Structure 1
Amino acid sequence: MSTAVSILVKSFNRPYYLDRCLRSIYEHVTGNFTITVLDDGTPPAYLAEITRRYPQVKIERSELYDAKVAQLEAHAAGGPKFSLRSIPTKLWIAGVEEATPFFCLLEDDIWMTQPVSLTEMADYMQARQVVMTKFYWGGNINTFQANMGVRGNGLQEYELSLPAGPEWWLRTLLLNRFKLHSVLHRLGLAKEGIYFQLPFYSLYSVASAVFSKDYWLNLWQAGQQQADEVHQLARALRWTRQRLSRFAKSEVELTQTSFISSATNMFKGVDFDVIAANHHLNQAWLRGRFDAMQNYPRDFDPAALKFVFDEANDPRCTYANWLQWIASFKQVYASMGVVVD
């Protein structure tokens, strides 16, 4: 029997994207695989519809699931704003611990766009001691800060291209201990924040990748409550200095992600409530008002979803302000060289 591969999908309150993600998996992924959704607060009515459409998909809920659903529903109804922003680290770790030795990690707003055999990929990674294979690098290979190497089985291994210095020094800068990175940045001796961190992302990916279970578990600790990825980058750096590890990317990008939607992001100067907006989009999806594969393999066309905002007539999330929010969101990633259109 072929090697089994677990697919884990992190999910939070955007079933219209989760639907797209799952459908794209069944259209493009081959091999022996299972899918588990790790959900952190998508209201029950939407998860019930996901189960109706994909009965073979397993859904696990976080320990704060009920509390987050209650806050989301209160926020959508005009009550107190959603404030439970801790990440469900325990849920993710438990999901990975139950997964196969090599597993695929996606998020609800990531969808497959090209055929791939996860079984063949996992076999190759195990044989070559590859601990992570990236599926996505922002549409611009020039932003991928690594030296390309061995090709095989649809993958291309790469050698790390990190700033010079011993591991303890780089970890100190990444974690900004003693405010050292901040001081060096003010003196013009280090790049700002994420721009300093970018080369280290050759060691890590939030999702859109196949990981070795041992490697991923080494990067995360159950006590981490906030999404601050420098901790994962620092642990990845230490791992690579202590163990023989290889990294790879798919020959072509296998996934795409959204730059018109977010679970919680807000931008200063843009009056747009993404949680209220997702409520209206979720309801329209549940009622069959739009197809989750609209405009696929590209992201949803905002103009095609204008009717949702017009019909909602909610001053917290107008269509015009959504377009301003999208422009702000895209600018963040475009400044890092990501292709956003």
Structure 2
Amino acid sequence: MNILIKSFYRPHLLDRCLRSIYERVSDAKDIEITVLDDGTPQKYLDKIKQKYPQVKFEFSKFRDEKIKKLDYHLQGIEQYHDVRIPTDLWYDAIAKSSDFLIITEDDVWFVDDFNMHLYAQEMEKYNIHLLKLGRILEKDSDIIPHHQLTDTISYHQPHFIIRSKKFYGILLNNTAHIRTFLERCQLLPKRWVMQLWVMYDIPMGMYRKDYLLFLWKDKYKRVIEQLQLKNAVEWAFRHKGKSKYTLMTNRVMATSYRSSASFNAFNIEENFDLIKFNHILNELWLNGQFDEYQNYPNDFSVDYIYNILAEKENTEFAERWKKWTESFIEMHKES
């Protein structure tokens, strides 16, 4: 069995993730845990290795270059900019993994007990291709009804507008602005995209390997949500409803909204320096001055990080971060 963890320059969060695995996953010692790192300086990973000697590491071909760019940014030599994604590293790791696996990220942790081997057996028995471990869909129950499969697993099947891969490709790509037109004219069902998200969940899902590889099957193995959703539609049509998409009745994973590794993808608070923010917490963690389990199993408290930033940097920086994290949460409310 395998757990893969995508990691980039947030060892203070990676520590939280790994600690939760060893405390909450009942069979963790029998699971191969691999960190797929894309740009974390070695001094941080050395501490992770000391704390979790069983963990394996694999590195992207961009890692060394990205570490240099992070250093240049912190020195004020040049602004960090690098949008390359190590999809080949992730894809190859999945390809050589067990038939059922978890792929997650460094800012995700287990909040409840979980027996991975038991649920692999359940997934095999009920032909489950995706078991969501961190989603709560009560707010969408009128749109995506789900039904109990076992005492701890419920399932839901997506409802398609038209059973046409080409049609969904046009919608997801917004070809010729057709989706925009249909939405403006209110000709699409309410929250139709949520039906597709039933079939995909990174980074809080346990997958059948063959299904996950199909989702990421494109020539360049690009991990772009529209592509993965389009592939999920194709899989569903090919298998004619035989695959099951499920979720835990009680969530067992959660994620943080206090940081981001997507430095170039968005910056809600203009000019807020996420790299500098992560650097401050990373250094404190390295020197034993940051509690990676603060407020566990919930997210880090705002006051805890705010006070750190105010003391180590200044109040203005702390205020900018507070505004950033509030906006980050707001942005993900519908996800």
Equivalent residue, structure 2, for 1:326: 325
* Partners of 1:177 and 1:56 in 2: CA distance: 48
| Among 10, 14, 27, the residue aligned to 1:14 | 10
CA contact (8 A) 2:160 2:195 kept: yes
* Partners of 1:313 and 1:24 in 2: CA distance: 29
Letter of the structure 2 residue corresponding to residue 26 of structure 1: Y
Offset of residue 33 of structure 1: 1.4
Structure 1 residue 198 corresponds to structure 2 residue 197? no
Letter of the structure 2 residue corresponding to residue 278 of structure 1: N
Task: Spell out the pairing of 1:138-149 with structure 2 (5 A cutoff).
Answer: 139-143=136-140, 145-149=143-147
Structure having the higher strand fraction is 1
Unaligned runs of 5+ in 2: none
1:25-77 per-residue CA deviation (whole Å, 9 max, x = no partner) reads 01110233121111111111111111111010001111111111111111122
* Partners of 2:268 and 2:113 in 1: CA distance: 39
Structure 1 residue 155 corresponds to structure 2 residue 149? no
Offset of residue 303 of structure 1: 1.4
* Partners of 1:154 and 1:165 in 2: CA distance: 31
Equivalent residue, structure 1, for 2:230: 234
Offset of residue 313 of structure 1: 2.4
CA contact (8 A) 2:144 2:195 kept: yes
Equivalent residue, structure 2, for 1:308: 308
Equivalent residue, structure 2, for 1:274: 274
* Partners of 1:48 and 1:214 in 2: CA distance: 33
Identical residues among aligned pairs (%): 31
Equivalent residue, structure 1, for 2:294: 294
Per the alignment, in what secondary structure is the counterpart of residue 9 of structure 2? coil
* Partners of 1:285 and 1:125 in 2: CA distance: 38
Offset of residue 132 of structure 1: 0.6
Unaligned runs of 5+ in 1: none
CA contact (8 A) 1:175 1:234 kept: no
CA contact (8 A) 1:28 1:112 kept: yes
Task: Spell out the pairing of 1:250-265 with structure 2 (5 A cutoff).
Answer: 250-265=248-263
Equivalent residue, structure 2, for 1:207: 203
CA contact (8 A) 1:270 1:321 kept: no
Q: What is the number of equivalent residue pairs in this alignment?
A: 327
Offset of residue 234 of structure 1: 0.2
1:301-324 per-residue CA deviation (whole Å, 9 max, x = no partner) reads 121123432344279x80000011
Offset of residue 97 of structure 1: 1.1
1:126-175 per-residue CA deviation (whole Å, 9 max, x = no partner) reads 122111100112x4522365332342262222222343453321222112
CA contact (8 A) 2:284 2:290 kept: yes
- Normalised TM-score (structure 2): 0.91
Q: CA RMSD in A?
A: 2.1
Per the alignment, in what secondary structure is the counterpart of residue 146 of structure 1? coil
* Partners of 1:239 and 1:23 in 2: CA distance: 35
Q: Relative to structure 1, is the Cα distance of residues 332 and 196 closer, same or farther in structure 2, using a 3 angstrom cutoff?
A: farther
